[in-house]
Every structure is written in C-alpha cells, then in structure tokens.
Structure 1
Amino acid sequence: MQLELVWSAQLPVHQLRPWLREQLAAHGEPLRWAITAVESTGDQSRKLKIEAVVVSSDT
C-alpha cells in the first residue's frame, strides 16, 4: 500500500517512527514499511510518502 502523511513540525524526529507505526496500524499489522519521499510544505510541516506491506485480519 502507499500512503501520504503530513509530518507536523510539532512532532520531533525521535517520535516519528512510533507515530508512523501507529498510522500504519490503522490499516493492519505492519509487516514492513519505508519512507520513499519527503516533501517540504510551506508551513514547516513535511509530506511523507510511505510504502508498506500490512497484514489485515479482515475476512
């Protein structure tokens, strides 16, 4: 799956990984993931492009 997430300027870099895993967990259990692009926005936040493989328990 591919996601675009906004990384707020208020979120410090040391909290980025737990925040990303939380965002991915909304879609299922993250098996693996990668940040494939980071784009700056005008308001000091950044747009992250994420590619992930998640295991979903939906049947």
Structure 2
Amino acid sequence: MKCPNCKSKNLGKIGNEQYYCWNCCLELAIENGKMNINQIEEDGSLSSLNDIFYQQGS
C-alpha cells in the first residue's frame, strides 16, 4: 500500500486497518473498502482530508 498523498510506502500500522505515513504525517484508515485520509492536528484531533483526495459526485 502507498500513501495517496506522497506515494511513499513508509507506512506504519497503528491499529486495525489504520496506518500512519511517516513522510507526510497523515493517518489512513480503511473502512468498508474505502480509504479515509485524516490530518492529525496539534491537539491530537483528526481533520478529514477526503474532500481533497476524492471528488464529490455532481
């Protein structure tokens, strides 16, 4: 598996179907066959970046 942002394979597993990219510091989670991409904020909360990586249907 590669990071959809930086294309790196430098991913660490942090949970069941959850990964962390050591190059660009994103959390990747696979839920129901879809990858959710989150940025980790300074306070530890997650901000979804799915809207950047996936186009919304129109």
Higher-Rg structure is: 1
Q: Which has the higher contact order (CA 8 A, sep 6+)?
A: 1
- TM-score past 0.5 threshold: no
Q: TM-score range by the shorter chain?
A: under 0.3
Q: Which has the higher helix share?
A: 1
Give the alignment's TM-score, normalised by structure 2. 0.25
Task: Give me the TM-score of the superposition, normalised by structure 1.
Answer: 0.25
